[in-house]
Amino acid sequence: MSNHSKPIKRVAILTSGGDAPGMNAAIRAIVLAAQHYQMTVIGFCSGFNGLIDDISVPLSVKAVSHIIHKGGTILKSARCPAMQTPLGIQQASSTLMKEKIDALIVIGGDGSFNGLLALQKQWSGQVIGIPGTIDNDIDGTDFTIGFSTAINTAIEAIDKIRDTADAFERIFIVELMGRHSGHIAFNAGIACAAEQIISFENFAQTNNETPHESQHEDEQQKLLSLAQEIKIAQANRHESYIIVMAENIWQGGASALAQQLQSLANIDCTACILGHIQRGGSPVAKDRILATKMGVAAIQALIAGKTSVMIAEQNNAIDHVALQTAVMHQQGVCESLIRAQENILALTAQRQS
């Protein structure tokens, strides 16, 4: 993290990685703040690809009007493997020099911030990251843009699944996004009173280093105890039963788990993979407001000479966190929530009466 003193005239923005509801609200806030401080803004299209290929659009106040309520991103997004190569980084840096850009703001997740850090080694302009991902897995900020909308979408969907599950006293396994973090699964599971949550935080995962034999035994053991829990629960109560699970926690996902429960214990489960519906939709109030605060703060951070920082929100206050720190660890799910699920909320054999 260092301080620059050169006045900033020309700012570039790009949105990168998985799109998240609220990215448009952040773009709008950056453009309005930049205009207030007499800067011009351009947007590179389709993530770092647009930067490498020098494809951009001017971003006027008019261009960002009436976008605050829209999901997705008007600049489009992409994952860009080329940013992991010296050639890609060099091309990106050449574009920034050619376009006379003083500062670059990237809205995205940790992969995008790694691209920004690599770029900063070759290019002397200021770089700022804004955390935008539905996964909420970025360290140093309490919330990322898009997370609140994604869990609300998941909750709405699971509530609907509950209605039909109740009508048939049926068992559902609902698989939610989050890549390798359980923020969406854990929080949505709690908010929907799921009977079980299977997520990274409460369900030890076998990894590639675990020998194949013990991996198999471990999974069989987990499957057996889950089957037992379901059997006891369903024998005692005639109600629906919802298991919310994080993607990537179980080999083969929700469909494989449903099949295994069927063949092992004759348990009828319906798998439902919510998928990309969680990424879309109009951002909820919390994401619009967070994105607006962060967009304005990004321009103010540039004026204050900051570079290589992520705009963060901690305890309701805006802060700056070194990008290096933000990418080092994944933010974990609130411990007290994990303990409450484990000890009080999950429907276990002991909690049937």
Q: Which of residues 242-281 bind ligand F6P (CB under 6 A)?
A: 247, 279
183 sits near ligand F6P (criterion: CB under 6 A): no
Whole-number Å distance between alpha carbons of 145 and 306: 21
**Interaction between residue 135 and ligand F6P (CB under 6 A):** yes
* Beta carbons within 8 Å of 245's beta carbon, 6+ residues apart: 173, 174, 175, 176, 185, 197, 198, 199, 253, 254, 257
CA distance 160 to 179: 24
Is residue 134 a contact residue for ligand F6P (CB under 6 A)?
yes
Between 107 and 345, name the residue whose CB sits nearer to ligand F6P: 107
Pick 43 or 146: Cβ nearer ligand F6P: 146
Catalytic site includes residue 319: no
Other C-beta atoms within 10 Å of 208: how many? 6
Residue 196's DSSP bridge partners are 243
Smallest gap from residue 135 Cβ to ligand F6P (A):
5
CB atoms within 10 A of CB 210: 13
Q: Which stretch binds ligand F6P (CB under 6 A): 46-54, 83-91, 129-137, 166-174?
A: 129-137
Write down the least CB distance from residue 247 to ligand F6P, Å.
Answer: 6
Any contact of residue 128 with ligand F6P (CB under 6 A)? no
Which of these is catalytic: 110, 135, 137, 287?
135
**18 binds ligand F6P per the rule CB under 6 A:** yes
Backbone torsions φ then ψ of 146, nearest 5 degrees: 110, -25
Q: How far is CA 173 from the centre of its chain?
A: 21
CB 195 within 8 A of CB 236: no
162 binds ligand F6P (CB under 6 A): no
The site for ligand F6P (CB under 6 A) is made up of: 18, 109, 133-135, 177-179, 247, 279
Catalytic residues: 135
